Amino acid sequence: MSAHIDSGGDRRPAGGILALSLPYQVVAAVALAGLGVLACLHLAMVFLHVAPSNTLTKQHGQAVDDWIYPEFEQNWKLFAPNPLQQNVGVQVRAEVADAGGGTRTTGWIDLTAQDAEDVRGNVFPSHTQQNQLRRALDWYGNAHDDEGRPKGMRGRLSEEYMRRIVLLRIEGPGARADVGGEVRRIQLRRVARPVPAPHWSTEKRSTEPSIRLMPWWDVTDADRSRTETNR
């Protein structure tokens, strides 16, 4: 064991890494160096993710996205020059198998209103109630182009994720809005309602909602088996 001599001449055992044998000192030093490199790499990736478009992001944008999403996504909308001034809701309708072997289509079910009801008056609302549906919708939007086509694997995964969230809420025992049968297909729509200008403001702002209709999605056996596992 190594030691050092203090100002009084006493020999005291060394602490920290110096207290380890040489092989362990080497291992600890390499581990610390690796953690330092990883931390620097992570900070660099986050910086490139939030930075304006530049040469590096144009050349290596996919690598940056693969590192950031979904665990380290950064959301800076609160600090945007024009913060969001609308309430966004997600609604669903479903084609459900009936007793005669046909199908019936349900009315629109407001999933966002369900979450709002759960959060309202709740001192400690869950992360799922506050963010699951909203973040899933953001992911879906970012993973699809303006024509609604999925951008590779991320787009297809976002669709699967949305289907399974919806199935948990509308089908079977324990569902918040059970539609009373086996769901064959679902369709989502995004409803954005602008927040009215305050009464003291002279700003003229339309409050007409805008609706984005998503395509019908077939519910697969894989979707149903995953939701049964998560109940």
- Residues 18-31 have pLDDT tens digits of 777 888 888 888 99
* pLDDT of 126 over the 70 cut: yes
Strand partners, 90: 190
Strand 3-5 and strand 217-218: pairing? unpaired
Q: Which stretch of 32-36, 164-168, 198-202 has the lowest confidence by average pLDDT?
A: 198-202
- Asked if 188 and 212 count as a contact pair (C-beta separation under 8 A), the reply is no
Look at residue 1 in the predicted model and tell me its pLDDT.
Answer: 47
Q: How many CB atoms lie within 10 A of CB 69?
A: 14
- Asked if 221 and 198 count as a contact pair (C-beta separation under 8 A), the reply is no
Q: How many CB atoms lie within 10 A of CB 118?
A: 15
| Structural tokens at position 139 | 């992911």
Q: What's the mean pLDDT in 81-103?
A: 84
Q: How far apart are CA 186 and CA 164, in angstroms?
A: 11
Residue 226 sits at the vertex; the CA angle it makes with 117 and 99, to the nearest 5 degrees, is 80
